[in-house]
Structure 1
Amino acid sequence: MEKSSSSKSIEVNVISAEGLSINRKQPKNVFVILRSDPFNSRSTVTDIEGGSYPKWNEKLVMELPSHARFITVEAHSGRKLIGSASIPVSDFCGGYLPDNYLSFLSYRLRDANGEKNGIINLSVMVKGKGTSRGNTGGCAASCSRPWMGVPVDNNNYNKYNNKVSGGMVTGIPVPYKF
């Protein structure tokens, strides 16, 4: 299948889950389904020993359509949905994150009633050709250029009012929610 220019390939490593339950009991035979849209999904093998703390450490590669704003992760025990989470694509693609950057993420799972039901741990990498100058394949246009700092102060004076050479500040904005 040829990758369309309007989509990217992502590699999601489904690592583990914590605190899963079904009617306050340990689930059995837990697996995860990952969806980027209704027609594109992948699933892990079944963990038969993990119970409430299953482990997979399984890489799932799939296409991420350019219009996708979320990917969905669902934990199942047989046909029973244990919990799901909608992961914003902006958490691992876009802004200041270049292609091939590995993001480690954990999300709260919610059951069909919206109640908290465990946590899923995974890593996500947007597959690309790299971030060299001139590459336009990055998640954001800014990723195709080397990261640059911002001058600290145009006047460049220290606290003693002496002229000093220019310093640089670098950082990545992190959203904070209550």
Structure 2
Amino acid sequence: MGSRALEITIISGEGLRLSRSKRVEKNAFVTVSADQTQILASTRMDVDGGSYPTWNDKIFVDIPIQSRFLIVEVQCKSKYNGDRVVGGVRIPVKDFVGGFTPTNYLNFLSYRLRDRKGEKNGIINISIKVNSTKGDHVDGFNYSQPWLTASYNNQIAATTIVGNKDSNNGIVTGFPVW
């Protein structure tokens, strides 16, 4: 099984609340996981930001190729209750992988957070860059670099260049996708 190497920068949060009447005062941090796996990484705690924390923490994670979601949760460390989830979001991997987005493209994204009850609870601002795709290289060939996609009468033709990365020659393949 392959994995995708992601560079995620957790930039900031906006309007975070512990309840309708109580704002987050301090000690907010963010955890990142893929689908339903264990936590892959977390940020440092913002001790001063209150309900508008700023982290600007860059984290590097590898997520499995088959992962459909990246789960980002904002949590708050409490002196009495331990870690408490303020809000979270399930980010579809297709928001930053595939389509016309090339590898190493920096995506700036903002998402609405939802608390455990499903109610709106702030916004998270992040950037995500897919550094490389592991597991799709066979014998020095890369089989997954899209080169051109065109459509005509609802038919999509995808073209892929297959070749050794150290040479200037390669095989161009195309196939219709209905």
Q: TM-score, normalised by structure 2?
A: 0.71
Q: Which runs of 5+ in 1 are unaligned?
A: 152-178
1:109 matched residue in structure 2: 113
Instruction: Give me the whole-angstrom Cα distance separating, in 1, the residues matched to 2:84 and 2:39.
Output: 20
Stretch of structure 1 that moved more, 21-30 or 105-114:
21-30
RMSD: 2.2
Which portions of structure 1, spanning 4 or more consecutive aligned residues, are displaced by more than 2 angstroms? 134-138, 147-151
Q: Which runs of 5+ in 2 are unaligned?
A: 78-82, 134-139, 153-178
Deviation at 1:7, TM superposition (A): 0.7
1:44 matched residue in structure 2: 43
Q: Is the 8 A contact 1:128 1:137 kept in 2?
A: no
- Over the matched positions of the two proteins, sequence identity in percent amounts to 43
SS in 2 for 1:58: strand
Matched, 1:25 2:31: no
Matched, 1:34 2:32: yes
Q: Is the 8 A contact 1:40 1:62 kept in 2?
A: no
Instruction: Give me the whole-angstrom Cα distance separating, in 2, the residues matched to 1:53 and 1:7.
Output: 33
Instruction: Give me the whole-angstrom Cα distance separating, in 1, the residues matched to 2:48 and 2:67.
Output: 34
The structure that has the greater radius of gyration is 1
Deviation at 1:135, TM superposition (A): 7.0
Deviation at 1:148, TM superposition (A): 6.9
Distance 1:118 1:50, change over 3 A: same
Give 1 or 2: higher strand fraction.
2
Question: How many residues are aligned here?
Answer: 138
Q: Which of residues 6, 11, 14 is equivalent to 2:7?
A: 11
Please list the CA deviations of residues 123-147 of structure 1 after superposition, one character each: whole Å capped at 9, or x if unmatched: 0000028xxxx97375xx42xx2x5
Deviation at 1:150, TM superposition (A): 7.5
Q: Is the 8 A contact 1:30 1:75 kept in 2?
A: yes
